[in-house]
Structure 1
Amino acid sequence: MISHLFLEQKSTLSDSVSLQTDSSGYEFLIIEHQKLNAAFALHGGHLIHFQLKGQEPLIWLSKTAVYNDQKAIRGGVPICWPWFGAAGEALGDNLPSHGFARTSKWSVADIKESEQGVELEFVLKDSAATRELWPFEFELVLKASLTSELKLELVSRNTGDKSFSYRGALHTYLNISSPESCRVSGLNETFSDSLKNSEVTTGDGSLLINSPIDSIYKKAPLSVLLDDKQFNRQLIMQNSGNDSEVLWTPWVDGAAAFADMPDNGYQTMFCIESAVTAKQGITVAPGQSHTLSTLIK
């Protein structure tokens, strides 16, 4: 799934984990475990690949994604933080969409291995550059548990002396066989449709993928399910710390408009995101933290 990146190994960090780079020096953490393969870009703390041995990849990555320090990667699980979508008037104009975490350099804080898989921690801390965009002190930790299940936990810690509020998402691109083979269920019945001026709509909690979709569903009562007949699998997504699930596909015209997505890319991806989208966000007091997570099995 990531063989097209042509990486060169730079160092070995554990039995299953190595640091590798492309020809421009862009850094990746490559996990080759007896039960799974995975990869992260240190730029963005960004999971770009997860695949259990003998199965289709769980996570979708664009074959035409751009890898540089200025742009978020198309595919994988971009981390939207500390805002979702536009920053809003209170923070000012001309701020990057979906925050700065997905275009910042993260550090590897911890690696643990077992027969079941690998656990990783990545850290992003405030700096002079981040405080120019968002005037708060923080420590953002991504905990990744890679076993027969994929669990990502985004921990927002307030290391300053004043409260902050954040919005964000684990913007998960799922790898699917084809839109017509898939059905999503377990959703909340109430959602707002961003393609219809955020019109609030009530449905039956299920969805077929047959047109452009950009909808924010209120938090699911239990698990969100994606049935993929052609892959013969059901993905079960359990989200916590979120107030909503965001579902998205650019469909035909949208994919064609993206330079970093193949024109047919919409046929093999679908996004189901664990998100905090309410205008007020989540408030984190000094010395406290909040965890946004997604578990996919």
Structure 2
Amino acid sequence: MISHLSLTTTKSLSASVSLQTDANGFEFLIIEHQKLSAAFALHGGHLVHFQLADQAPIIWLSKTAIFNDKKAIRGGVPVCWPWFGAADPALGENLPAHGFARTSKWALGDISESTEGVVVELKLHSSEATLALWPFQFELTLKATLSDTLKLELITENKSATSLTYRSALHTYLNISAPENVSVSGLNEYFYNSLKGKVLETGDTTLLIDQAIDAIYNKANGQILLEDRKLQRTLSITNTGNDSEVLWTPWVEGAQAFADMPDNGYQTMLCIESTITGEHGQQVAAGEKHTLSTYIK
């Protein structure tokens, strides 16, 4: 998924982990382990690639994704935080969609590795720039546990003197062979259809992919399964700390409207997201933490 990028190593951090840059100096954290390969962009704290040895990639990245310091990256796992969708009007006007975390520069935290895999932490702290958008002191940590499974934990620590409320998404783009080859099961039967004015609907807990989808499902009762008959695999997705799951595919017209997605890009991706979207959001008391996670195996 990243073989088309021309990267140069700037620093080795461990036997399997290095910092690399493209021709424009855009920074990536690259993991090449005996069990897996993975890549993060420091812009957005953004996982852009995850693949087990001798298997098809699990995470999808657009072949025409734009890598710069201004735009969110198309594909991978964007971190939507501290709001999902549009910001609360009380915060002001013209604020970035899906928050500022996905377009901020993150710092490296702890990195450890073993024969089983690699654990990486990326961090984002409150600053004058973030306080101008959202009036809370915080430390945000993305902890990625990479082995023969993928676990992403987004840890929000409230460093303010008062409680805060946030909404969020681990906006996971999953790699598929083709829509007609896959089905999704284990969903909650209740969902809000964003393509029809976010009205509450009920449907089958197993879903076939044959049209555009933009739906907020009530939290699943257990695992969500993505079966791909051509790739001959079933991905099991378990989300915690969330109140909902978002399913999204732009389909033909949506893909054609994106400059950073090939016109046929919708045919090889499906988003199944661990989300906090409810009216009341997630409250975090002063000095406390909350973790939103997704676990894929």
Which bracket does the TM-score occupy, shorter chain normalised?
over 0.9
Give the match for residue 44 of structure 1. Answer: 44
Give the match for residue 234 of structure 2. Answer: 234
TM-score by length of 1: 0.99
Give the match for residue 125 of structure 1. Answer: 125
What do residues 225-257 of structure 1 show as CA deviations (whole Å, max 9, x unaligned)?
A: 000000000000000000000000000000000
1:13 and 2:13 equivalent? yes
- Counterpart Cα distance in 2 of 1:91 and 1:275: 21
Matched position secondary structure for 1:108: strand
1:68 and 2:38 equivalent? no
Give the match for residue 256 of structure 1. Answer: 256
- Counterpart Cα distance in 1 of 2:22 and 2:146: 24
TM-score by length of 2: 0.99
Offset of residue 145 of structure 1: 0.2
What do residues 114-151 of structure 1 show as CA deviations (whole Å, max 9, x unaligned)?
A: 10100011110000000000010000000000000000
Matched position secondary structure for 1:195: helix
Q: How many residues align?
A: 297
What do residues 244-293 of structure 1 show as CA deviations (whole Å, max 9, x unaligned)?
A: 00000000000000000000000000000000001210011110010000
CA-atom RMSD in angstroms: 0.5
- Counterpart Cα distance in 1 of 2:150 and 2:77: 12
- Counterpart Cα distance in 1 of 2:14 and 2:62: 28
Offset of residue 196 of structure 1: 0.3
- Counterpart Cα distance in 1 of 2:65 and 2:220: 31
- Structure-to-structure mapping, 1:1-297, within 5 angstroms: 1-297=1-297
- Counterpart Cα distance in 2 of 1:188 and 1:118: 33
- Unpaired segments of 5 or more residues in structure 2? none
- Counterpart Cα distance in 1 of 2:149 and 2:95: 35
- Counterpart Cα distance in 2 of 1:119 and 1:137: 26
Offset of residue 204 of structure 1: 2.0
Counterpart residue type for residue 52 of structure 1: L
- Counterpart Cα distance in 2 of 1:153 and 1:188: 22
Residue identity over aligned pairs, in percent, reads 66
Matched position secondary structure for 1:267: helix
- Counterpart Cα distance in 1 of 2:207 and 2:249: 12
Matched position secondary structure for 2:132: helix
- Counterpart Cα distance in 2 of 1:121 and 1:88: 29
After superposing on structure 2, the runs of 4+ consecutive aligned residues of structure 1 that deviate more than 4 Å are none
Offset of residue 91 of structure 1: 1.3
